Chain A
Amino acid sequence: MTADGSLERLKREGRIVVVGASLAGLRAAETMREKGFTGSLTMIGDEPYEPYDRPPLSKQVLLGRAGPEGTALPRRRDIGAEWRLGVPATGLDMAARRVRLGDGNEVEYDRLLIATGVRARPWPQADEAALDGVFVLRTRDDAAALEQKLAAGPRRVLVIGAGFTGSEIASACRERGLPVTVAERGAAPLVGALGGVIGEVAAEMHREHGVDLRTGIMVTGLEGDATGRVRAAHLSDGTTLEADVVVVSLGAMRNTEWLAGSGLGAGPRGIACDAGCRAFDIRGIVTDDIYVAGDVARSPHALFGYQFLSLEHWGNAVAQAETAAHNMLSESTDRRPHLWVPAFWSSQFGVNIKSVGVPSMGTEIMITQGSRGERRFTGVYGYQGRVIGAVTFDQSRWLQFYERLIEETAPFPPPFTTVDRRPEGNRPMPADFPDPSVPTHGPTITLSGYSPADRRMTFTPAHH
């Protein structure tokens, strides 16, 4: 307990505001109540729905197996909150400890948690993006509208971008028997997240399932008919492709614009925070009352050279929310760092893909178990002689072991043999990540810190 009892007071009658009423926001709120917070809790979300789960949106929901309204997140406990749904937060006054809302109201806080996540990167040409039949997939509404279109049996679907979401959408289309073309600027699907060696396996998977996969290609424009419905796409190889549904799947943008001018360290790469989830202000000074969690956060991680990591991972949102909630209600000596080892899963073309660590940091890969040909394998990523990440295709039961290797900064290549080692796994090979200056759909983990090797920045001190 603090000498002056302020923490006890906060727990008893403080005001906590959570902006972003989704996965991270909800889990944080539940954790706060579990920790005995009995004060007032306000949940602000710009979507009209109570917290729901996104992973099923590109899987079961697109297959028509689960209704979009059936994705509500299970509640761990009653949180007794005041919900402000369908209203965005539009501004933050750090000095007065107030959040401004889109409806003109303001909410005061003693502690603020920001969990505004990311949104889908829209198609850059606004008029083309507005065509009927052009979609992104991030929200329940997006999924409902897209599912409806798919159920109507379009003649061809075009997916732009073959990251995890794009690949899952293509997979769902094929499972529904719909003709689908995937256009990817990089050399293969998933290449930004998992590299070219694994991308090649993913490409085979697409093609075997009848996806018309076009790699090394950009969509240069979309074209509508007289009624404003999309009808075709123009590709960088000069061809035109007819499609009546286009899903733009080009990665995500952080929802931080509402914080512009607030003085918080928030920008296009997210909101920087310390390992304890406390947000930095623009001067690089850690705040005491503002915390961040989930997709919108970027925080330094000891295992990865203290570089700032932004993760778009379900499990990270949960773990970070729990840590943030714990720290919000703890003395400084009781605070915990968020040192979650990144872990991600996807399911496409009937294959379960999982990764741990930061594969995209890896320069080499070794197939330690199984075989790429059978599409059941484990790949281990190496960076400067240590294990930095791992991926499994339909072999997730071993993943825990590799996670430990990452935690132990074990040497790469691993010096031992394993069950199910095949000849292809006897030697590491270049992991074949694309040159970062060539944009792809991007990884789901972004290293957004400045590594000491990075000499490109210039320092301009502010003058008073």
Chain B
Amino acid sequence: MTQDILRQILDYSNRADPYPLYKELRRTPVYHDGSGPFVVSTYYEIQALLHDPRISSDARNLASAADDPLAEPGEEEETVLPPSFLKLDPPEHDRLRRMTNRPFGPPHSPHRVHDMRGDLHDIVKGLIDKIAENGNAERIDLVEEFSYPFPVTVICRLLGVPPEDEARFHVWADTLAASLDPDPDADPKERERRTHDSRMELGMYLSGLIEERRKNPTGDMLSELVTGNSPDGTMTTMEVLSTAALLLIAGHETTVNLITNGMLTLLRHPEVLDRLRSEPELSVNLVEELLRYEPPVQLVPQRSTLADIEVAGVSIPKGASLWLVLAAGNRDPLRFEDPDRFDPDREDIQHLGLGSGIHSCFGAPLARQEAQLALSELARRLENPRLLADPPPYRQNAVLRGPRHLPIAVDGIRP
């Protein structure tokens, strides 16, 4: 029976509400159907595995990738670039992540994210103003018009993509994002070609930018990545490329879903939306609860075991593939009281939404700030927003789960 649960989770028809299935799944904390991955769904087990040095993120340690039901041909960024630190183990992981962190966060750049606040605010304001100008209050797609463009624009600013190139960047980002979101109607060949072309174009564009920044550094993240001299040395051009691509894809995809899932949840809890309007500071705790309740990354599928290990009484052999279902762990009643309740005042929210351990979300401080700002501004400016479809249409992807469109209507948009 459990065998079906896994298939059902991947099945698109359950995308809108996978939580009952996760509940079923948690009854077998380590689920294995004999051939596929070992699926871990309970909080404490996932948390321990994320800190377990016998677990690898490097696909080369998988005994066989063949039986991974999520493996998709042509999906891997590695076909063009070396693996980003997301898919590496220490010491390479630590070295690349450290070097990437130098221009991004403490101790070397403690203010980078905080200093973007003004910028973020301008971007959010600009996007909402544009929705107001377009003037169709009857039908707004919040994904297309807001939660998609926002993080791409932010990542452009962060990396240092010149404003005049942002439009091209958006197109590439969209195509690449769409590639993670198989559309059953689209011609797969055609899609693969478009994805490949976008990847190439983006790669070439970035290498051009990198060359330029090497000559004329301007203080943005790309400049610092190419010129930065840390105790670890300097990144090679290829390393900068794969890091930049990682920041673009990972930073972008997740934030779109965080904001969209957030708005969806708020629209389903109008009393919280009302509160947020008058108490924008509520957004801090609210976003943490969202990361628990509707995490944008539902599961981490690329882990493998370096040794035979035992988890919750189950022996997992060396070289096995592990899936850590973060979203199931986040609603584990052994860890959270009344876990299916969305409670913006919840105090004890040590969620798994951003992972944990050495691979915990690199962009977390930025993602949090983006989501806090986006949600409180939407709450403040949208007049009487309501959902036009519940559930809204979801994207195909089971890992990066979120609505493809979020159609809403409003009575107006406040200045």
| Chain A interface residues toward B at CB < 8 A | 368-370, 374, 376, 378, 397-398, 400-401, 404, 416-420
How many chain B residues sit at the interface, stated as a range, is: 10 to 19
B357 on the A face (CB < 8 A): yes
Other than the given A416-B309, A417-B306, A419-B55, 5 more pairs (CB < 8 A) read A368-B53, A416-B308, A419-B54, A419-B306, A420-B94
B196 shortest CB reach to chain A, Å:
32
Choose among A370, A378, A397, A420 the residue that contacts B357 (Cβ–Cβ < 8 A). A397
User: Do residues B90 and A420 form an inter-chain contact, with CB atoms below 8 A?
Assistant: yes
Interface centre among B52, B53, B89 (most CB of A within 10 A): B53
CA distance A398 to B306 in the complex (A): 15
Q: Which residue of B lies closest to A399 (CB)?
A: B51
Judged by DSSP, the binding face of B is loop
Interface centre among A376, A397, A400 (most CB of B within 10 A): A397
User: Do residues B53 and A420 form an inter-chain contact, with CB atoms below 8 A?
Assistant: yes
- Asked whether A400 and B306 contact (CB < 8 A) given A369-B90, A370-B91, A376-B94, the answer is no
Q: Which residue of A lies closest to B47 (CB)?
A: A400
Q: Which residue of A lies closest to B94 (CB)?
A: A376
What 4 pairs across the A-B complex have the smallest Cβ distances? A416-B307, A418-B53, A420-B90, A419-B89
User: Do residues B94 and A418 form an inter-chain contact, with CB atoms below 8 A?
Assistant: no
Choose among B306, B308, B357 the residue that contacts A418 (Cβ–Cβ < 8 A). B306
Q: Please name all residues of chain B whose beta carbon is closer than 8 Å to the beta carbon of A369 when the two chains form the complex.
A: 53, 90
User: Do residues A420 and B89 form an inter-chain contact, with CB atoms below 8 A?
Assistant: yes
Interface residues of B in 7-59 (CB under 8 A from A): 48, 51-56
B410 on the A face (CB < 8 A): no
Q: Please name all residues of chain A whose beta carbon is closer than 8 Å to the beta carbon of B132 when the two chains form the complex.
A: none
Q: Please name all residues of chain B whose beta carbon is closer than 8 Å to the beta carbon of A374 when the two chains form the complex.
A: 91
Q: Please name all residues of chain B whose beta carbon is closer than 8 Å to the beta carbon of A378 when the two chains form the complex.
A: 53
Would you give 6 A-B contacts (Cβ < 8 Å), ordered by A?
A378-B53, A401-B53, A416-B54, A418-B306, A419-B90, A420-B91
Q: Which residue of B lies closest to A374 (CB)?
A: B91
CA distance A277 to B73 in the complex (A): 61
Digit string of B337-363 for contact with A (CB within 8 Å is 1, else 0)?
Answer: 000000000000000000001100000
Interface centre among B48, B51, B308, B309 (most CB of A within 10 A): B51
B115 shortest CB reach to chain A, Å:
21
Judged by DSSP, the binding face of A is mixed
User: Do residues A419 and B309 form an inter-chain contact, with CB atoms below 8 A?
Assistant: no
User: Do residues A397 and B306 form an inter-chain contact, with CB atoms below 8 A?
Assistant: no
Q: Which residue of B lies closest to A368 (CB)?
A: B53
Q: Which residue of A lies closest to B57 (CB)?
A: A419
CA distance A418 to B357 in the complex (A): 15
Q: Which residue of B lies closest to A404 (CB)?
A: B48
- Asked whether A398 and B94 contact (CB < 8 A) given A418-B306, A419-B89, the answer is no
B316 shortest CB reach to chain A, Å:
12
Q: Please name all residues of chain B whose beta carbon is closer than 8 Å to the beta carbon of A416 when the two chains form the complex.
A: 54, 306-309
Q: Which residue of B lies closest to A420 (CB)?
A: B90
Q: Please name all residues of chain A whose beta carbon is closer than 8 Å to the beta carbon of B306 when the two chains form the complex.
A: 416-419
CA distance A376 to B93 in the complex (A): 13
Q: Please name all residues of chain B whose beta carbon is closer than 8 Å to the beta carbon of A398 when the two chains form the complex.
A: 51, 53, 357-358
User: Do residues B51 and A400 form an inter-chain contact, with CB atoms below 8 A?
Assistant: yes
Q: Which residue of A lies closest to B52 (CB)?
A: A401
Digit string of B269-306 for contact with A (CB within 8 Å is 1, else 0)?
Answer: 00000000000000000000000000000000000001
User: Do residues B307 and A417 form an inter-chain contact, with CB atoms below 8 A?
Assistant: yes
Interface residues of B in 54-93 (CB under 8 A from A): 54-56, 89-91
B381 shortest CB reach to chain A, Å:
36
Q: Please name all residues of chain A whose beta carbon is closer than 8 Å to the beta carbon of B90 when the two chains form the complex.
A: 369-370, 419-420
Q: Please name all residues of chain B whose beta carbon is closer than 8 Å to the beta carbon of A417 when the two chains form the complex.
A: 54, 306-307
B209 shortest CB reach to chain A, Å:
32
Q: Please name all residues of chain A whose beta carbon is closer than 8 Å to the beta carbon of B357 when the two chains form the complex.
A: 397-398
Q: Please name all residues of chain B whose beta carbon is closer than 8 Å to the beta carbon of A419 when the two chains form the complex.
A: 53-56, 89-90, 306
CA distance A417 to B358 in the complex (A): 18
User: Do residues A418 and B51 form an inter-chain contact, with CB atoms below 8 A?
Assistant: no
CA distance A374 to B232 in the complex (A): 10
CA distance A418 to B52 in the complex (A): 8
A427 shortest CB reach to chain B, Å:
17
B50 shortest CB reach to chain A, Å:
9
User: Do residues A418 and B54 form an inter-chain contact, with CB atoms below 8 A?
Assistant: yes
CA distance A404 to B52 in the complex (A): 10
CA distance A398 to B356 in the complex (A): 11
CA distance A369 to B308 in the complex (A): 18
